[in-house]
C-alpha cells in the first residue's frame, strides 16, 4: 500500500499538482480520510524536486 502511495505521488507531481492537493485527492478519491499525511506528501515532493525518483522506502538508521 505504501509503495502505491508513492506511485500516486509521483504521478501527481509529474502532473504539476501541489502537495496539499495530492494529499487531499488521495484521501478523498482513493483510500479515505487520514490515509496519508500532508507532511509525508511534502517530504516525497521534496525528494522529487531534488531529482530523486526512487520510490523505495529505506529503513532509517
Helix orientation angle between 2-14 and 38-49, rounded to the nearest 10 degrees: 60
pTM tops 0.75 = yes
More confident residue, 17 or 3: 17
Helix (H) or strand (E) holding 8, with range, is helix 2-14
Number of structural domains found in the chain: 1
Residue 57 lies in a domain: no
| Range of the structural domain that residue 33 is part of | 1-50
Q: Cα separation of 43 and 61, whole Å? A: 18
Residue 40 lies in a domain: yes
Q: pLDDT for 9-58, tens place per residue?
A: 999 999 999 999 999 998 888 888 889 999 999 999 999 999 999 998 77
pLDDT of residue 30: 81
Q: Cα separation of 15 and 9, whole Å? A: 10
Residue 58 lies in a domain: no
Identify the CATH number of the domain in which residue 7 sits: 1.10.10
pLDDT of residue 56: 87
pLDDT of residue 60: 61
Amino acid at each position: 500500500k505504501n509503495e502505491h502511495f508513492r506511485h500516486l505521488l509521483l504521478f501527481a507531481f509529474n502532473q504539476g499538482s501541489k502537495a496539499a492537493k495530492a494529499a487531499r485527492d488521495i484521501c478523498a478519491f482513493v483510500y479515505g480520510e487520514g490515509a496519508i499525511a500532508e507532511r509525508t506528501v511534502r517530504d516525497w515532493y521534496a525528494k522529487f524536486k531534488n531529482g530523486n525518483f526512487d520510490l523505495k522506502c529505506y529503513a532509517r538508521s
